[in-house]
Amino acid sequence: MGLDTWGAPIFYRALEDSGKSRDLPSTSVLHIHEPEWAGGVRSHPTIQHSINHVLDEIELLALEKHAVKDNADISRVLKTARGELDDNGDFVVGAAATSNDPSDPVTLQRIVGGKLVALKPDESIESFQSNCPSPTFTGFLEHLRRDSALGVIPFEFAADSSKIGGAGVRLIVAKADRRFSFRQMILERRLIKPVWTYVIGDAISRGLLPPIEGWWKISSVPPKRVTVDAGREAQQNRADVERGKPC
């Protein structure tokens, strides 16, 4: 049974299909991690360094979207030199005319058409222009995402590959393939082989399968490796065969 730093046994809370939970010792739980990797003994998530960045990005996007919606609701701004607005409003149609009131906009609209706004001499109306989202906001989000992708897979492979080309593409794909190969190795060592050994061994012990020699020796076939040079590699393999070299 596994022990923690203080020597106490480690248990995991398992949730059953019925909705009930029960404690399982650590020896009964399959740990899918790589202990030889620095920090892998505790099996912390690879993305742990970017959890705060992800939360910050979610909050910033929510606030920015709220600001965009709020600004989109404002179409124009009325500026006045008086410092305050009258209680009866500035756009009252048919109000009693005074010496400072302009012509009736409804009457003018009937003559010239379109839409007219009547303003007093000390007023001006301007279209509202919002600066949300800021031009630098997307760059800030890209910085958070790039920092979050460190140690996982290249940002260009997962999100945006428009800024790289040529040798840069091959470098990014090679780094991603190395990461995928590492994860496949962990899954084979920590999941596929232990599950195979447990299931087939249990079937042999109960007499459901014959005990074939070396039944525990297996190999898994992972998905095809990601590459951008499939044609070039195939051409090189053909050239090696023509020269009598093993592939």
pLDDT recorded at residue 42: 64
Count CB atoms within 10 A of the CB of residue 195. 11
pLDDT recorded at residue 192: 93
pLDDT recorded at residue 208: 93
Task: Tell me which residue has tokens 């000390």.
Answer: 122
- DSSP three-state, residue 76: strand
Say how far apart CA 54 and CA 145 lie, in whole Å.
8
Tell me the backbone φ, ψ of residue 152, rounded to 5 degrees.
Answer: -110, -95
Q: How far is CA 5 from CA 2, 75, 181, in A?
A: 10, 62, 32
Q: What is the residue extent of each domain of the chain?
A: 75-127
Q: Which helix (H) or strand (E) holds 15?
A: strand 11-15
Per-residue pLDDT of the chain (247 residues; tens, 9 = 90+): 454 455 556 777 888 888 888 888 877 888 787 777 666 556 677 777 888 888 888 998 898 888 888 888 877 777 777 655 555 555 554 555 455 555 676 777 777 777 767 777 777 887 777 777 777 888 888 888 888 888 788 888 888 888 887 778 888 888 888 888 888 988 998 899 999 999 999 999 999 999 889 999 998 898 888 877 766 777 777 788 877 766 5
